[in-house]
Chains A and B, each alone.
Chain A
């Protein structure tokens, strides 16, 4: 398969990059170089009350990058729907990363409220990308409700703990037909590669870069890891022998 043909399709829009960047917790000055090093085509942003003293983040986003507004801060479906409406007015696009997070300690999403909001927003024409705790039944409900992707968490937001929900994510990858984008918790490029090898369609990361010593370099490392994992998935990883070993050198013709 050529690289050109390996496109990520979300709500009818195609992307060559499978790495989605967050824009939180680091200086706007670094956004441009992080995007360039990550070769990201999508960046997510939050909505908050305007502080006139704050810099305008849009001045730091290169041309041609798709803005993926998120509904962070919403604690129920109603709040998330309102935020999505504000986001659409602001971005002029229908992409919305749906986050409904009532829990303040672990930042666990409310899957039920997320399904409710997905149904409303998808009916209104939004390209809904819901963030959920990986659960097959919920993922099916999201697809039925019109979700464009499912974005399961690998570990709690901002923890860099990696693929804590690996087995549950694998079920979604195996059973759900919309793109599965791993969101939250990925802390190291190796974990991103691992998730892509499993068959995830894309990786979303923010904290793992924002908390790195060198943000653009870590963004590059993630890009390479995501690409490597994707190629490995497409290549079809070899089988694992649980017991014993299998020589790869010929057993015949040994000189003793």
Chain B
């Protein structure tokens, strides 16, 4: 019986997203990943392993196993 697609192509490698482990993100590019999460791309900044990824680089940036992603947005706040 063939392995599930996800397992063969990406393996069961964990990625950490905003401090939480996530099983199935590795192998995706950032743009697809954000779109699937329904993250508004106009209100997110992505830090990958401590480095900011600029918006035009989302599509060419592949998420690798053990990557640490921080997805940060503007929220209400002020005094």
Contacts and interface: CB of A to CB of B under 8 A. Distances in A.
A21 B78 contact: yes
Interface string B43-67: 1110100001010000000000000
Interface of B: 18-19, 37-40, 42-45, 47, 52, 54, 70-79
Given A48-B72, A85-B52, A22 B18 contact: no
Contacts of A57: 43, 73-76
Contacts of A51: 73
Given A56-B42, A58-B43, A72 B77 contact: yes
Given A23-B77, A44-B79, A46-B75, 14 more contacts: A28-B76, A47-B45, A47-B73, A50-B71, A51-B73, A54-B75, A56-B43, A56-B73, A58-B42, A89-B45, A89-B52, A89-B54, A90-B43, A184-B79
A50 B75 CA distance: 9
Interface in A27-72: 28, 31, 43-52, 54, 56-58, 67, 69-70, 72
B78 A23 contact: yes
Given A48-B72, A49-B18, A49-B70, A86 B77 contact: no
B55 to A, nearest CB: 8
A206 interface: yes
Contact of A22 (B38, B54, B77): B77
B79 A207 contact: yes
A206 B38 contact: no
Nearest to A91: B74
A44 B75 CA distance: 10
A157 interface: yes
A89 B74 CA distance: 11
Given A49-B19, A50-B71, A56-B73, A70 B45 contact: no
Contacts of B47: 86
Contacts of A206: 78-79
Given A56-B43, A85-B52, A90-B43, A48 B73 contact: yes
Contact of B76 (A23, A52, A69): A23
A67 B74 contact: yes
A25 interface: yes
A9 B69 CA distance: 38
Nearest to B74: A45
A11 interface: no
A239 to B, nearest CB: 34
B42 A50 contact: no
A102 interface: no
Listed residue (B42, B73, B76, B79) with the most chain A CB atoms within 10 angstroms of its CB: B79
Contacts of B39: 50, 52
B79 A48 contact: no
Given A44-B77, A72-B77, A157-B79, A52 B52 contact: no
A35 B77 CA distance: 14
